[in-house]
Structure 1
Amino acid sequence: MATGAINVEMNIAAEDQQSMFDKSKIIARRRMPTLELIHERFCRAVRLSLFNMIRAPIEVQMHMPSVKSYEQFVSEFPERTNINIVGIRPLRGVGCWIVDPGVVYIAIDNMFGGEGRLAPRLSLREYTPTELRIIRRLVDALLNDYEKAWKAVYEIKFDFMRQETNFGFAKITSPGEMVLHSKFTIEINGRPGDVDLCIPFWVMEPIKAILYNNMQGFASEPDEHWTNLLNDQVHEAPVTAVAVLARKQMLLREITSLSVGDIIPIEINDPVTVYVDGLPVIKGQYGVKEGRYSVKVSTIQHPAEFLKSPLEKARLGPSMMRSAEKGELYEQSGEHSQSHSPIQAPKPNETDVSSDTIGQLADELDPK
């Protein structure tokens, strides 16, 4: 009986131990929403900082942060690499930034007048003093931007300690300890290279709750790159400009009494109003240029002026146009209109009323 009790206790202890290891696997698989937002802000800041330093097209891509053993992290790198040891305040511990040689050589090529088109020859040679100074500038820029990215969440500071080329001299924790691995891919002139950050997970223990917290109210900074790109694409968006030369109101019996060859008298408005996507933006004088009806621009009202008046007065959109200006004339004229002045209209012989259209309308009338 006593032996059975002892076996039960031993089995319970083994299950507890197994559950402890299962929890460590769960932690490694959990996402860190706050850290992902911090890294997104860091990528935007680094792109601008490296562009000012290297003066070349820069793209920075963030990879999902992962938790793994330090031994597994070290096995992903070659025997000799650039390792930058940094202290982390106010957290107790150290971390390391690893800069891929491809990033170093392409950055040096661009900084000294090259274009970075040739693939760098990666070798295991020692870095020269000039290369080490440029690496230090790159690392300082990374540290500065990473501190700013964390500032809205938690104040951390990185103190540069030393550079190493072998993990045997850069042991920041024991091989079995879990570490937080963050990878960023920096693309310079179309040639990518990686920058890795490794921090022991026990160092992040005081702020672990912040990392796993889903911060919905995280204040984000505007991305100037995407803002400029969106602004350029908005300016390149096509719009429809329609110059309404004349309007004619007719009764239905007058339309049905028309026959092929009849002429509908019209009077051209002066000045002519040009509607840009339904807004009366341009006014000008009607005329003919190179055999085509044209409008010489006299006044232009900026579309932003329509937003200053109340919506019930502005009536934004095509509804601002009268019903007589919305039909076939609007669609046909929009194909020939241009956004430059003078605004070209269809040729004179194209503005005659189509007899086929009138006949079709007459055929569709209900005899009753």
Structure 2
Amino acid sequence: MADDVLSQSEIDKLLSAISSGDVSADEVKAEEQQKKVKTYDFKRPDKFSKDQIRTLQMLHENFGRMLNTYLSTNLRSLVDIEVASVEQLTYQEFIQSLGNPSVIGVLAVPPLKGNIIMELNTSIAFSIIDRVFGGTGANTIKPRTLTEIEEAVIRRTFAKAIDNFREAWANVVKITPRLEVMEANPAFVQIVPPSDMVVIITLKITIGEVEGFMNICIPYLVLEPIMSKLTTTFWVASSVSKENRPEQVEILQRKIARTSVPFVVQLGSIEISIREFLTLGYGDVLQLDTKVKDELPCQIGKRRKFFCRPGTFGKRAAVQITRVAPEGDEDTDE
């Protein structure tokens, strides 16, 4: 701690006091031993280390960036989201700190056991609703319970936030969060005993000129099976190795294999004047610039890739690939 560090002038004064006899060495040792005693509250035991708190902060900074992108695009307004704090409290202290009414979503996060809470201040909730319905986003509504239509709008916002939450946690554990229930009164939400420790991640959300908070409450019992993974080293290592996993390569290959692209065979071309074009009628014949024995160019998308010859396959028209076009070879720069 910074309070335990002495400046050079303080060290000089202490040494001079000991040498002059004003302060004895035994008094210094007694004072040093007294400073080692740290107050510990057994009613509020610390369940999370500083490294784990730091990891949770980084995870939810990533979550905040993704949610910021969604809200900015969806609301078409200037949105700013940042992690205001990450602290551990008892569940009772967290519930007592919430306003009534509030917008509370109870989430299940399988395969982890238990539930977590995602709480949104009414000021931000009504600002989102106002923007969705074409308003300016100004918070002119007094705190109250949401109507059915307003709740449907907020459920859609929660659904996207849950997707971002799942993606943000993917480097630590693969979860499939889902919204189980929404409540307005914090007293009706009881996911763990009041004395259990929880970690509270508070995100400050600014939409235009409206400011509010989103609180994410994660009980210790939910995170207990993955506490060893909540370290900065593990989080960074997993995010780096994620791109090199074989299953990721297979997924990309399957997506590329299912991609549809147009395949066009150009039979030939001809140039005519506007006057000739306007005089064309049914039964007229246009002579193309290709011969019967000429190879026809094949285009993949807008790029010439092969040459072919026309023919039939059964009762259907078909082409036979004869060679690769020089400009369509994979070894070329184009």
Q: Shorter-chain-normalised TM-score: which range?
A: 0.5 to 0.7
How many angstroms does 1:178 deviate by? 0.5
Identical-residue share of aligned pairs (%)? 24
Aligned to 1:73: 94
Say if 1:207 and 1:20 are closer, same or farther in 2 by CA, change over 3 A: farther
Of 136, 140, 151, the residue aligned with 1:120 is: 140
Question: Unaligned regions of 5+ residues in structure 2, if any?
Answer: 1-38, 241-334
Aligned to 1:171: 190
Summarize deviations over 1:210-246 as a string: whole Å, max 9, x none: 22444454648xxxxxxxxxxxxxxxxxxxxxxxxxx
How many angstroms does 1:122 deviate by? 2.2
* Pairing 1:88–2:109 present: yes
Aligned to 2:7: none
Q: Which amino acid aligns with 1:122?
A: K
Q: Which amino acid aligns with 1:203?
A: V
Aligned to 1:45: 66
1:1-368 aligned within 5 A = 21=42, 24-25=45-46, 27=48, 32-116=53-137, 118-123=138-143, 125-214=144-233, 215-217=235-237, 219=239
Distance 2:135 2:122 in 1: 17
Summarize deviations over 1:281-328 as a string: whole Å, max 9, x none: xxxxxxxxxxxxxxxxxxxxxxxxxxxxxxxxxxxxxxxxxxxxxxxx
Give the structure-1-normalised TM-score: 0.51
Q: Which amino acid aligns with 2:140?
A: P
How many angstroms does 1:115 deviate by? 1.7
Question: Unaligned regions of 5+ residues in structure 1, if any?
Answer: 1-17, 221-368
How many angstroms does 1:189 deviate by? 0.9
Summarize deviations over 1:53-104 as a string: whole Å, max 9, x none: 2111111011232111001101111232121111111111011111111111
Kept in 2, the 8 Å contact 1:28–1:67? The answer is no
Say if 1:218 and 1:23 are closer, same or farther in 2 by CA, change over 3 A: farther
3-state SS in 2 of match to 1:184: strand
Summarize deviations over 1:12-38 as a string: whole Å, max 9, x none: xxxxxx979399237476652322221
Say if 1:216 and 1:145 are closer, same or farther in 2 by CA, change over 3 A: closer
3-state SS in 2 of match to 1:204: helix
Kept in 1, the 8 Å contact 2:44–2:197? The answer is no
Say if 1:26 and 1:138 are closer, same or farther in 2 by CA, change over 3 A: closer
Kept in 1, the 8 Å contact 2:52–2:232? The answer is no
Distance 1:22 1:168 in 2: 21
How many angstroms does 1:107 deviate by? 1.0
Say if 1:27 and 1:154 are closer, same or farther in 2 by CA, change over 3 A: closer
Kept in 1, the 8 Å contact 2:103–2:119? The answer is yes
How many angstroms does 1:156 deviate by? 1.3
How many angstroms does 1:190 deviate by? 2.7
Rg (Cα) greater in structure: 1
Say if 1:136 and 1:194 are closer, same or farther in 2 by CA, change over 3 A: same
Distance 2:40 2:145 in 1: 46
Kept in 1, the 8 Å contact 2:55–2:232? The answer is yes
Kept in 1, the 8 Å contact 2:107–2:116? The answer is yes
Summarize deviations over 1:135-182 as a string: whole Å, max 9, x none: 101111110001011112211121211111122321011110101111
3-state SS in 2 of match to 1:24: coil
Kept in 2, the 8 Å contact 1:106–1:188? The answer is yes
